[in-house]
Chains A and B, each alone.
Chain A
Amino acid sequence: MLKVDNLTKMFGGLAAVSNVSVEFEANKVNAIIGPNGAGKSTFFNLIAGAHKPTSGTILLDGKDVTNLPCDQIARLGVGRTFQTTNLFEQATVLDNLIVGHRLRTRSGLWDVLVNSRRLQAEERACREKAREALDFVGLSHVENRFIADITQEERKRVAFALALATDPKILLLDEPAAGVNPEETEGLADLMRKMINHGLTVCLIEHKMGMIMGIADKIMVLDHGEKIAEGTPEQVSNDAAVIEAYLGGDEDAAA
């Protein structure tokens, strides 16, 4: 599904991602863990085209996407959520989601001027897609609420819905469970399982080990930009290098 070869990203003298090769399998939860500053978010930014890699290649379904711009990669089916999502606070949940399907539409200025059939059809499609995504994440009942008036956990779900509205094949989720309580974390994990059941592929960065161990099919461990281990949850949790990185490294990583 997603194949990364010898990927490196330098920020000045710092190798944020260093020579990482990995293959993410379709229809699985592929997790990335590692201490703070290990390069996890940077790795996502490289895949999504938000940063240009210094070297290495990224193949999506066999197609080389290494130097494609962000918006094109999104169109190829890579959806993502961020550690923090800025939504339009004083607009309704539904209004925030409608634009999610914009990338599958073509209407331009001319369509707006003449209010073309195509524009009307596409706007209906976007609205339906938004409702569908909202229903998927279980938030249909808040569609008319302002973003400012919903809970932290509901915001996380809205961020999922926004990514889902783009019709992705693969989802990159960056610390989706940060700042929500254990019960809600379990709910988010269920939602990821639901995504898998619907044929999606999930890549997940997460600090909450309980969640990772329960949900991941495969884990890659990054430390100082390098891949130090890879395997099933059992393999990784027994890996000497991983234990070393976690015990010797950052405390928050273990949290």
Chain B
Amino acid sequence: MLLKIAALLMKPGAKMAMLAFALVFPFLAANEYQVYVMATAFIWAIAVYGLNIITGYCGQLNLAHGGFFAIGAYTLGLLTADYGWSFWPAFVGALVMTAVLGFLVGVVSLRLKEHYFAIFTLCVGFIIYLLLDKWEELTHGAIGVRDIAAPYGFGLVDFTDTTPFYYLVLGFLVLAMWFISRLSKSLLGRTFIAIRNGDELAESLGINLMRNKVLAFVLSTTYAGLAGALYAGMVRFIGPEEANINHTFDMITYLLVGGIGTLSGPLLGTLGLVWITQSLQFLEEYRMIIFGPLLVVLVIFFPRGIVGSFLTWIHRKSQALVPEGKRKDSKVTPTKEAENNA
């Protein structure tokens, strides 16, 4: 029974159903605020997909991710508010900025391994926060950036409304996920995963560590920049708190809960936790009393997150159903599909 439901979830139709749900969500929502929350969740999901590239696939724990999100938001904010750029050129500017800075930070930080890399990026994240907070001539310091331009709708739509903006974000999310699904199945994605399994082994397979790690890092910071730019265009008022390390930890939590290194994990983890957080709003800071233990239990019993554990389970089941002697012939097992669709 469970297996049947699982098989259903693996069908390509499930993806279409989710997309259909996302498309009609603004009409199902009780109020505009819910649409706004969903759009915010989509934006975070894009950023979490970025984190999944460098941390999930490539195995390098990047703690500056929230910092790059803030750089994307600030680039868009400052270019439109202070330098008179319109939204779309500034949007491209934000992507270029986070890619270039990602490259520079990556080239330096990726010389370090494992926890040294994590600690270094933690410092980078904090330096980004300090720059945004203290470099007042450029960033307006603690006052933040106001009057950020909304996306220009070319006379067709008005993105200052919540619902059109929701669809814009949804479009970018679908694009972001589409690219990740391509990447993860490709030789390039496999190269990243080989690096996660171990530098030593990857190198012995002829993989150039630095080049591939820097590429993964730049992709991830560009995703963060994309999310940050969309965020700035939505809230249109940002401050140094966007670079708060808590955002990075939130994203890591979404990733762990959903399933690190999986395709649908970042989306499910982000949406699930954003909505749970919303519904526990009344508990204020005390909600951590529920979250903390929940997270600990999850990490202990489901180290690969909800999606990862699910995939493992369904693979074992499908292998158990095939008699020992025949396994070799079962070229198209549900797992192949699972890996491709989930």
Contact = CB atoms under 8 A, between A and B. Distances in A.
B337 interface: no
Given A85-B201, A90-B312, A71 B187 contact: no
Nearest to B331: A144
A185 B53 CA distance: 40
Nearest to B215: A109
Given A88-B197, A103-B206, A115-B182, A108 B312 contact: no
A158 to B, nearest CB: 12
B208 interface: yes
A106 to B, nearest CB: 10
A41 B143 CA distance: 59
A132 interface: no
Interface residues of B, number: 38
A123 interface: yes
Given A71-B208, A109-B188, A102 B194 contact: yes
In this complex, the interface size class of chain A, counting residues with CB under 8 Å from chain B, is 35 or more
A86 B201 contact: yes
Nearest to B322: A144
A197 to B, nearest CB: 24
Interface in B170-227: 179, 182-183, 186-191, 193-194, 196-198, 200-201, 203-209, 215, 219
B61 to A, nearest CB: 17
B115 interface: no
A87 interface: yes
Contact of B187 (A74, A75, A86, A107): A107
Nearest to B195: A99
A114 to B, nearest CB: 9
A80 B200 CA distance: 11
B236 interface: no
Contacts of B193: 88, 91, 99
Contacts, number: 108
Interface string A156-180: 0000001100100000000000000
B209 A102 contact: no
Given A92-B335, A99-B194, A142-B327, A74 B206 contact: yes
A74 B206 CA distance: 5
A113 interface: yes
A72 B208 CA distance: 8
B260 to A, nearest CB: 11
A63 B197 CA distance: 31
B312 A102 contact: no
A95 B184 CA distance: 12
B339 interface: yes
Interface of A: 48, 50, 69-72, 74-75, 79-80, 82, 85-88, 90-92, 95, 98-100, 102-103, 105, 107-109, 111-113, 115, 119, 122-123, 126, 140-146, 149, 162-163, 166
11 contacts: A50-B200, A71-B203, A74-B203, A86-B201, A99-B193, A102-B207, A103-B205, A103-B207, A146-B315, A149-B316, A163-B204
Interface of B: 179, 182-183, 186-191, 193-194, 196-198, 200-201, 203-209, 215, 219, 304, 308, 311-312, 315-316, 319, 327-328, 330, 333, 335, 339
